[in-house]
Chains A and B, each alone.
Chain A
Amino acid sequence: MIERAVLTRADISRALVRISHEILEANRGSADLVLLGIPTRGVTLAHRIAAEIERIEPDGPVPVGTLDVTMYRDDLTLTRTRTPGPTHLPLRGIDGAVVVLVDDVLYSGRTIRAAFDALSDLGRARAVRLAVLVDRGHREFPIRADFIGKNLPSSARERVNVRLCEVDGDDAVTIAGGEAA
């Protein structure tokens, strides 16, 4: 299968720096920000963005958490049993916070829809935003991302792979399949 690189390590790093600036700009600073990563790679990205925001505006640490949406998915009966992961909220909770959901790839939008349900069981955020590294289109819900690393128009037959150092040993976004299929 042909695998073609879309983003290199440097591209990913630049995209995350830009997203961090955009989050700060939209929020006018880092007050009340809470970053929630969606496992697995969304969590890694959330930690990287938080570190970047703290570097740009050193107003103290940005709370980062993990939001597992498995139990809220609408496709649990369509695939084999999924393994849920832990949900960790920062100590302050999410009440009144501006929650930025962070995920690696935005595709059908079903994960994010599930995340909305999960969030509403945890508290009432003042606002919810969405940051993704790659937006590959093919939405099945009226959902869009506020902060996007790269728009990557793709065929539904293709597969977008995000690899991150902390999880996979290197940083890269690749696309595989498509024409060959």
Chain B
Amino acid sequence: MRHLLRTRDLTRDEAIHILDIALDMAAVQNREVKKLPTLRGKTVVNLFFEDSTRTRISFEAAAKRLSADVINFSARGSSISKGESLKDTAQTLQALGADGVVIRHPVSGAPQVLAVSGWITAGVINAGDGTHEHPTQGLLDAFTIRQRVHGAGARGRGLDGVRVIIVGDILHSRVARSNVWLLTTLGAHVHLVAPPTLLPVDTSGWPVTTGFDLDGALAGHPDVVMMLRIQEERMHGSFFPSSREYTRTWGLDGPRFRALQPDTIVMHPGPMNRGLEIAPIAADSPQSTVREQVANGVSVRMSALYVLLSGERETATVSGDGATEHHAIQQRSAAQ
């Protein structure tokens, strides 16, 4: 695997492979020396065109625990805010000798452009692009569900027969999209619940069922309830009359939470709007996996970085000025 751009492309075997390696990475987190020498000498660039402290530090921790060097490159206060194009930024990274680029971008498809453009030879990990996908979030959610459902026997297994409902702003959610494709690839059944205004117009191509009624969906005793964040920054239209009304109809409030089966798990990708889409009693309960999701995020990202950056690099060609630098890098590694 050279890039991780979307979970839609992952086969069941590839997904399970990444989750199994993440299991071994998780074991490293419990040791006294929480570091592996595996990616020593590799450079990982966190290229963030959108603010995200949580995802960035998770990737940073993952890369550092594999002994890679990490360079953080954020749009604010950098050459990008001065109008530099993605191509010029990419060629700068190439000249720096980046082996892996973790990119978050407000435009759907930007990581794909970076991966196929030929501007860089680095492996590209999509850390969220527009309303498209956020594959490592999907992987860490799948990992978290698999651990809760199968416990110690999780290795090598999928999520066959697990019933998941995803509730909230499906329209703008790249987390929902990555989960829809990955969880169904792993054998789970996914049901989406949202206000009609926050459901994509056409979901006929998605392997899911959809509905507007949260209470009806909860009455079916799902194994997993995943609440999505209401993204204030994307609420530019009138998607629902008021946040009170949203909470009353689509929020996981106290009464709805208390009616859940005791083994139903409650997930949220964070950061949470407590009292809006999820009540504190649900977020802080033992059924909640919010903190596990954060810890598992590091393990899954270590796994993804390992799968992408170790192993023989497939030959890649660089166009433009990057070629000379690439040649120099090859010569350096050949001399070792």
Q: A83 and B38: CB pair below 8 A?
A: no
Q: State whether the Cβ of A122 lies closer than 8 Å to any Cβ in chain B.
A: yes
Interface string of B12-25 (1 = CB under 8 A from A): 00000100110110
Q: B37 and A83: CB pair below 8 A?
A: no
Task: Give bound CA distance, A71 to B303, whole Å.
Answer: 11
Q: State whether the Cβ of A153 lies closer than 8 Å to any Cβ in chain B.
A: no
Could you count the A-B residue pairs with CB atoms below 8 Å apart for me: how many are there?
A: 50
Task: Give bound CA distance, A82 to B36, whole Å.
Answer: 15
Task: Give bound CA distance, A84 to B21, whole Å.
Answer: 7
Task: Give bound CA distance, A76 to B68, whole Å.
Answer: 14
Q: A72-B38, A117-B37 are in contact. Are A79 and B24 (CB under 8 A)?
A: no
Q: B38 and A81: CB pair below 8 A?
A: no
Q: A85-B24, A86-B23, A86-B24 are in contact. Are A79 and B312 (CB under 8 A)?
A: yes
Q: B38 and A121: CB pair below 8 A?
A: no
Q: A87 and B24: CB pair below 8 A?
A: yes
Q: State whether the Cβ of A80 lies closer than 8 Å to any Cβ in chain B.
A: yes
- A87 to chain B: closest CB distance in Å? 6
Q: A86-B23, A87-B27 are in contact. Are A81 and B310 (CB under 8 A)?
A: yes
Partner of A77, one of B24, B33, B155, B310: B310
CB-CB contacts below 8 Å: A29-74 with B: 68, 71-72
Q: A77 and B37: CB pair below 8 A?
A: no
Q: A72 and B24: CB pair below 8 A?
A: no
Report B-chain residues with C-beta under 8 Å of the C-beta of A78.
Answer: 312
- A32 to chain B: closest CB distance in Å? 20
Partner of A81, one of B27, B31, B155, B311: B311
**What is the predominant secondary structure among interface residues of chain A facing chain B?**
loop
Q: B38 and A71: CB pair below 8 A?
A: yes
Report B-chain residues with C-beta under 8 Å of the C-beta of A80.
Answer: 311-312
Chain A: which residue is nearest B20 at the CB level?
A83
State the interface size on chain A (CB cutoff 8 A).
Answer: 19
Q: B17 and A83: CB pair below 8 A?
A: yes
State the interface size on chain B (CB cutoff 8 A).
Answer: 23
Task: Give bound CA distance, A122 to B28, whole Å.
Answer: 10
Q: A82 and B17: CB pair below 8 A?
A: no
Q: State whether the Cβ of B294 lies closer than 8 Å to any Cβ in chain A.
A: no
Q: A83-B17, A122-B31 are in contact. Are A68 and B24 (CB under 8 A)?
A: yes
Interface string of B221-232 (1 = CB under 8 A from A): 000000000000
Q: B35 and A77: CB pair below 8 A?
A: no
Chain B: which residue is nearest A72 at the CB level?
B37
- B62 to chain A: closest CB distance in Å? 13
Partner of A79, one of B1, B23, B27, B311: B311
- A139 to chain B: closest CB distance in Å? 21
Q: B31 and A121: CB pair below 8 A?
A: yes
Chain B: which residue is nearest A85 at the CB level?
B24
Task: Give bound CA distance, A117 to B67, whole Å.
Answer: 14
CB-CB contacts below 8 Å: B6-53 with A: 17, 20-21, 23-24, 27, 31-33, 35-38
Report B-chain residues with C-beta under 8 Å of the C-beta of A77.
Answer: 310-313, 333
Chain B: which residue is nearest A76 at the CB level?
B310
Q: A86 and B27: CB pair below 8 A?
A: yes
Report A-chain residues with C-beta under 8 Å of the C-beta of B312.
Answer: 77-80
Q: State whether the Cβ of B307 lies closer than 8 Å to any Cβ in chain A.
A: yes
Task: Give bound CA distance, A36 to B37, whole Å.
Answer: 20
Task: Give bound CA distance, A71 to B24, whole Å.
Answer: 10
Q: B307 and A81: CB pair below 8 A?
A: yes
Interface string of A119-135 (1 = CB under 8 A from B): 00111000000000000
Can you name 27 A-B residue pairings with CB atoms under 8 Å? Answer: A68-B24, A71-B36, A71-B306, A72-B37, A76-B38, A76-B310, A76-B311, A77-B311, A77-B312, A77-B313, A79-B312, A80-B311, A81-B1, A81-B310, A82-B311, A83-B20, A83-B21, A84-B306, A85-B24, A86-B23, A86-B27, A86-B155, A87-B24, A121-B31, A121-B33, A121-B35, A121-B36
Closest 5 CB pairs of A and B: A81-B311, A121-B33, A71-B38, A71-B36, A76-B310
